[in-house]
């Protein structure tokens, strides 16, 4: 773990508040594992545990996760305690079962700036329904989603644009990339620069190749660090922020839970809002609480029939709404 004496903030969203006490420091959680937290602060990276008072609080969410801004006190050389967790600007989360059948929020990364959704144009075949599921999660979490279409060289730029055009049409930025030709790599690097990003996608889409092309050794370094930390007293999986060497810095989040985020079941009544092209029509259906699946005089279904809303995207919505997606 680097111990560079850098300030903890990733980007200049806003000035950090002063700590509650003059002997405390403000820092950012870079890594979390087995109850230990590595916090980047103005004096370097400090290995911390949660103060007991925080553990006693009954919360419906995780107390501290990677990306959290925290107040820490120093208890020894390179050792500290997390005294408080600052309010989160954003979060990437899923729903997890809690005690007595009550669901809790399982936060994977806090203060996320954007989510890069990596999907291959081919090999493996492009799966629009899976992309739609990821986009729903981003919309529900109020996170900016950027689609990265990899392996463009396998199908050609014209075909790649045709496959992802429906997403560009509704306002999602799409970066067309190929690690073979170098297409789009600078655009991806510019997107990551100075931000805290989640980069996710299913196995085989070229995510590792993309990350290593952006910053050689990035994905390999991530794996090596995780493997090293899984030895000794720390035996569970690790969640961490990997620093970038782009001009503005920034981080890429690495956490095993991201691979499962598409499995989070959203409340059905929230689903229609998560399809952004449906929003202009939601208040114009005849029936209040319209599901947009079978009701008559549905403005959404009329827009689909008129070609205003993509039939494929609407089919994804119906499958998710009816539990078939």
Q: What is the pLDDT of residue 323?
A: 83
How much is the pLDDT for 325?
63
Find tokens 């590595």 and name the residue: 38
- Render pLDDT for 92-130 as a digit per residue (tens, 0 to 9): 887 665 666 666 678 889 999 999 999 999 999 999 999
Give helix 207-214 / helix 218-229 axis angle, nearest 10°.
110
Task: Tally Cβ neighbours within 10 Å of residue 74.
Answer: 16
**Pick from 163, 160, 104, 113: nearest CA to 138:** 113
Q: What is the pLDDT of residue 52?
A: 83
Tens digits of per-residue pLDDT, 3-25?
333 455 544 445 678 888 889 99
For residue 9, the Cα-to-chain-centroid distance in whole angstroms is: 18
Relative orientation angle of helices 185-192 and 207-214, to the nearest 10 degrees: 80
Contact 151, 206 (CB under 8 A): yes
3-state secondary structure the chain: CCCCCCCCCCCCCCCCCCCCCCCEEEEEEEEEECCEEEEEECCEEEEEEECHHHHHCCCCCCCCCCCCEEEEEEEECCEEEEEEECCCCCEEEEEEECHHHCEEEEEEEECCCEEEEEEECCCCCCCHHHHHHHHHHHHHCCCEEEEEEECHHHCCHHHHHHHHHHHHHCCCCEEECCCCCCCCHHHHHHHHCCCEEEEECCCCCCHHHHHHHHCCCHHHHHHHHHHHHCCCCCCCCCEEEEECCCCCCCEEEECHHHHHHHHCCCCHHHHHHHCHHHHHHHHHCCCCCCCCCCCCCCHHHHHHHCCCCCHHHHHHHHHHHCCCC
- Domains in the chain with CATH codes: 1-87 (2.40.50.140), 108-263 (3.40.50.300), 268-321 (1.10.40.50)
Per-residue pLDDT, 20: 85
Q: How far apart are CA 88 and CA 241, in angstroms?
A: 16
Which regions of the chain are under pLDDT 50? 1-6, 10-13, 223-226, 228-236, 263
């Amino acid at each position: 773990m680097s111990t560079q004496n850098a300030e903890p903030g990733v980007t200049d969203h806003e000035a950090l508040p002063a700590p509650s006490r003059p002997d405390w420091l403000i820092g950012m959680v870079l890594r979390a594992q087995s109850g230990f937290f590595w916090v980047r602060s103005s004096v370097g990276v400090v290995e911390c545990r949660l103060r007991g008072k925080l553990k006693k609080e009954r919360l419906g969410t995780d107390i501290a996760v990677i990306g959290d801004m925290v107040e820490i006190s120093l208890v020894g050389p390179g050792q500290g305690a997390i005294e408080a967790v600052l309010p989160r600007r954003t979060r990437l989360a899923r729903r997890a079962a809690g005690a007595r059948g009550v669901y809790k929020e399982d936060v994977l990364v806090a203060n996320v700036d954007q989510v890069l959704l990596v999907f291959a144009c081919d090999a493996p075949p492009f799966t629009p329904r899976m992309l739609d599921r990821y986009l729903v999660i981003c919309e529900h979490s109020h996170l900016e989603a950027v689609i990265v279409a990899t392996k463009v060289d396998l199908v050609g730029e014209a075909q790649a644009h045709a496959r992802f055009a429906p997403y560009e049409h509704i306002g999602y930025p799409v970066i067309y990339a190929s690690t073979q030709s170098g297409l789009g790599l600078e655009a991806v690097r510019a997107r990551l620069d100075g931000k805290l990003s989640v980069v996710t996608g299913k196995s085989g889409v070229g995510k590792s190749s993309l990350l290593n092309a952006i910053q050689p050794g990035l994905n390999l370094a991530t794996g090596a660090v995780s493997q090293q930390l899984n030895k000794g007293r720390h035996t569970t999986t690790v969640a961490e922020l990997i620093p970038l060497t782009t001009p503005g810095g920034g981080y890429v989040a690495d956490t095993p839970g991201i691979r499962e985020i598409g499995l989070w079941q959203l409340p059905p009544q929230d689903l229609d809002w998560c399809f952004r092209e449906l929003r202009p029509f939601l208040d114009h259906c005849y029936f209040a609480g319209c599901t947009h699946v079978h009701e008559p005089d549905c403005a959404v279904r009329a827009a689909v029939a008129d070609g205003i809303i993509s039939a494929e995207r609407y089919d994804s919505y119906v499958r998710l709404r009816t539990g078939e997606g």
